[in-house]
């Protein structure tokens, strides 16, 4: 199966360029394959598309169907109306380790656009804004450990100070 070039998404901002969706696709359709390498399940995704890349197209919309990876999509103009931001929610794209991006065992998901020549469109995935649970647990553990050491120091110094 022919795939568009893949982009590794770690949760940090990522610029992607759309390419052909493969044989039999329209010249006005573009695709970008993305690998979930965030370490977590992706449940929402923001995609920013510059208005200048839309080749004068004045209307945009979300196409969310029963086969979509996300159940909801909304869009708005941002940055003084120079970009459209698409907000996809209700997703369930799991994280999986991969060894070879060309095989089907990797976790790929694909973003498609219709209506603009794929050579003219780029997008930016601003990144995941929510903190990951592992960092919160690590911070809580460190604070608890620090409090324990302070308490122990107080008890020991009180025993020798008498």
Query: What mean pLDDT, rounded, does the chain reach?
Result: 77
Contact assessment for residue 123 and residue 112, using Cβ atoms and an 8 Å cutoff: no
Q: What pLDDT does residue 129 have?
A: 47
55-89 tens-digit pLDDT: 777 778 887 776 778 888 888 888 888 888 888 88
20-46 tens-digit pLDDT: 888 888 888 888 888 888 888 888 888
pTM of the entire predicted model: 0.66
Percentage of the chain lying above the pLDDT 70 cut: 77
């Amino acid at each position: 199966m022919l795939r568009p070039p893949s982009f590794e998404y770690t949760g940090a901002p990522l610029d992607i360029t759309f390419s052909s969706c493969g044989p039999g696709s329209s010249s006005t359709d573009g695709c970008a394959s993305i690998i979930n390498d965030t370490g977590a399940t992706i449940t929402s995704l923001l995609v920013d598309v510059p208005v200048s890349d839309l080749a004068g197209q004045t209307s945009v919309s979300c196409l969310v169907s029963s086969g979509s990876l996300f159940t909801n999509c909304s869009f708005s103009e941002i940055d003084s109306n120079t970009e459209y931001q698409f907000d996809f929610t209700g997703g369930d794209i799991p994280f999986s380790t991969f060894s070879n991006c060309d095989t089907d065992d990797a976790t790929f998901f694909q973003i498609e656009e219709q209506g603009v020549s794929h050579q003219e469109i780029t997008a930016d995935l601003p990144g995941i804004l929510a903190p990951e649970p592992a960092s919160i647990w690590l911070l809580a553990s460190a604070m608890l450990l620090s409090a324990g050491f302070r308490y122990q120091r107080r008890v020991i110094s009180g025993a020798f100070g008498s």
